[in-house]
Amino acid sequence: MMKLYVGGLPWATNDNSLRAAFEVYGEVTEAKVVTDRETGRSRGFGFVSFANEGDAQKALAMNGRQLEGRTIIVNVAREREPRRDY
């Protein structure tokens, strides 16, 4: 499995439309638009997970392309740094 970060999403993009945009490259196991906890509105980025790493590599071609009128950024997702409570 491989997860991609997708940034610069249009505000109207939801989990289903994000999945649909990337399914042309292969089996998407999860597509999630990150939303604000308080308002529920999109934060303008999300993540797409592929069952097959080769399909995810092909989907990197979406970087710099238009999605619903906006140019998106697509990169391999990095693991989140653990939060430190001081």
pLDDT in tens, 59-75: 999 999 999 999 999 99
Q: What is the DSSP letter of 83?
A: P
Question: May I ask the CATH architecture of the domain 2-76?
Answer: 2-Layer Sandwich (3.30)
Q: For 54, phi and psi rounded to 5 degrees? A: -60, -40
Residue pair 76/5 in contact (Cβ under 8 Å)? The answer is yes
Domain ranges of the chain: 2-76
pLDDT in tens, 20-58: 999 999 999 999 999 999 998 999 999 999 999 999 999
pLDDT in tens, 2-20: 999 999 999 999 999 999 9
